[in-house]
Structure 1
Amino acid sequence: MDVTTWYLEQTSPGDLVAAKPPRLEIEVVRAEIPNPEFSRFLYTAVGGDWHWTDRLAWSYGRWTALLERPGFETWVAWHRGTPAGFAELEAHPEGEVEITSFGLLPWAIGQGLGGHLLHTGTARAWDLASRWPGLPGTRRVWLHTCTLDGPHALANYRARGFRVYQEKLNEPGDRPEGPTPGPWPGARG
């Protein structure tokens, strides 16, 4: 199967479009203490069904180094004390902030949470410099997604005001068959 990757951006806080209120009560909170175990859990729990594998071989030290970088933040959506999803933000030079990982845990998909979490995470990308003295103000927020991600990912990004600035057809790729690499293979059923 051919894999298409879309690179999307916002160039002004005014680009951000609010989402409908979520159907469930959600609180989105910054995980302020760098915690490799929790971050790896979120990465595998959200990305397992989409075969996110880039970070699976990372050492504890590599996770720690990422999480301790100035301008790196993890925002977690919680419902009744249970994690529902997360958004990772990473500051880059010259006021650019990348949403490096974003998604919902399998139980939270289809609950109307994705738009709210993306809106909140993107708003936090726009005001990231207010929490990190010495970083320049955000002038651009960007991310990428591909045909291997969740079927509603691209539509959610566009609905929140992100615009495609590059589309790339990659070498043919296959979605691996068999168990997913998440913490509980096949959790979504």
Structure 2
Amino acid sequence: MKVTTWSLQMHEPRPQAPRPFPDGVRLDRATGITPEYARFLYALVGGPWTWTDRLGWSRQQWADELAVPGSEFWVLYSDGAPAGYAQLHPTVEPNGTHVEIRYFGLCDRVIGRGLGSRLLEHTIAAAWTLPARTPLPGLPGLPAHTERPEHIEHSERPDHTARAALPGHTVLPGVARVWVHTCSLDGPAALANYQGRGLVIYHTEETDENVPDQPLGSWISTGGPTPGSTVDAAVGAVGAEGPA
């Protein structure tokens, strides 16, 4: 299948503050994220859009990804249940920290409610302020800065010059670039959403990809059994044994 991939970037934060979410919707930074929950979010959101690359990852691969200094998961909740998420992944380059929006998306059940644009606004703001939440042990400290937010408030303005430090620690360099990939297999509104939030295309590539004819869907991607699967057989065998 022919797949078009767009790479987008921005070198300055958005001048506008992120818009608030409606009642019943909140965005949390998942500071206690585990490999199990990270994989669940990836499968839940990506199942309808052919996200398959990481379904076969081992638990250790997920743990290594989460252990990267500055790696962040921001989880959107609606009516108490996960409704989407964003993963931020920083790398240090000669001109500063580059933050990739590595994964971003909504669950099927909330698409069409205008949450995608708001989630992206908050994600971009979090990307530009990421160094303020990332102390690195064992390096010379910088002047202390006491604000270390775990949650982005609606009134916060992104400050890409922020530095935060604890005694004996320093942080990632200031953010110089926020970037993202999206492709023609993603949701139809993805590219327009990124462009509408200030990200600009800098590279386009068309490749032949071996992808499933149809997306697996969230149920199968998250590990749900299908008729005749090993899980179904195991459950059936337990049921046949009767009560102990």
TM-score by length of 2: 0.70
Q: What is the alpha-carbon distance in structure 1 between the residues aligned to residue 181 and residue 64 of structure 2?
A: 22
Q: What is the alpha-carbon distance in structure 2 between the residues aligned to residue 33 and residue 178 of structure 1?
A: 30
Q: What is the alpha-carbon distance in structure 2 between the residues aligned to residue 141 and residue 171 of structure 1?
A: 27
- Tell me if the contact between 2:84 and 2:106 (Cα under 8 Å) persists in the aligned partners: yes
Superposed CA deviations along residues 21-40 of structure 1, whole A, max 9, x for unmatched, are: 55553211100013111111
Cα gap change, 1:41 to 1:132, in 2 (>3 Å): same
- Tell me if the contact between 1:86 and 1:102 (Cα under 8 Å) persists in the aligned partners: yes
What does residue 150 of structure 1 align with? 187
Secondary structure at the counterpart of residue 170 of structure 1: strand
Q: What is the alpha-carbon distance in structure 2 between the residues aligned to residue 96 and residue 67 of structure 1?
A: 17
What does residue 30 of structure 1 align with? 29
What does residue 49 of structure 2 align with? 50
Q: What is the alpha-carbon distance in structure 2 between the residues aligned to residue 47 and residue 135 of structure 1?
A: 29
What does residue 182 of structure 1 align with? 221
> For residue 30 of structure 1, what is the amino acid of its counterpart?
R
- Tell me if the contact between 1:22 and 1:111 (Cα under 8 Å) persists in the aligned partners: no
Deviation at 1:173, TM superposition (A): 5.4
Secondary structure at the counterpart of residue 136 of structure 1: coil
Q: What is the alpha-carbon distance in structure 2 between the residues aligned to residue 17 and residue 173 of structure 1?
A: 40
Deviation at 1:2, TM superposition (A): 2.0
Q: More displaced, 146-155 or 73-82?
A: 73-82
Q: What is the alpha-carbon distance in structure 2 between the residues aligned to residue 79 and residue 89 of structure 1?
A: 21
Superposed CA deviations along residues 124-157 of structure 1, whole A, max 9, x for unmatched, are: 0000000012211111000000000000000110
Superposed CA deviations along residues 94-123 of structure 1, whole A, max 9, x for unmatched, are: 210000000001111111110111111110
- Tell me if the contact between 1:10 and 1:142 (Cα under 8 Å) persists in the aligned partners: yes
The correspondence for 1:119, drawn from 118, 121, 133, is: 121
Question: Runs of 4 or more off by more than 6 Å in structure 1?
Answer: none
Map 1:1-189 onto structure 2 (within 5 A): 1-14=1-14, 22-23=21-22, 25-94=24-93, 95-133=97-135, 134-171=171-208, 176-177=213-214, 179-180=216-217, 181-183=220-222
Cα gap change, 1:7 to 1:17, in 2 (>3 Å): farther
Number of equivalences: 184
The sequence identity of aligned pairs, in percent, is: 45
TM-score by length of 1: 0.89
What runs of 5+ residues in structure 1 fail to find an aligned partner? Answer: none
- Tell me if the contact between 1:73 and 1:89 (Cα under 8 Å) persists in the aligned partners: yes
Deviation at 1:176, TM superposition (A): 1.9
What runs of 5+ residues in structure 2 fail to find an aligned partner? Answer: 136-170, 226-244
State the structure with more CA Rg.
2
> For residue 114 of structure 2, what is the amino acid of its counterpart?
G
> For residue 12 of structure 1, what is the amino acid of its counterpart?
E
- Tell me if the contact between 1:22 and 1:116 (Cα under 8 Å) persists in the aligned partners: yes
> For residue 106 of structure 2, what is the amino acid of its counterpart?
L
Q: What is the alpha-carbon distance in structure 1 between the residues aligned to residue 212 and residue 188 of structure 2?
A: 13
> For residue 153 of structure 1, what is the amino acid of its counterpart?
A
Secondary structure at the counterpart of residue 221 of structure 2: coil
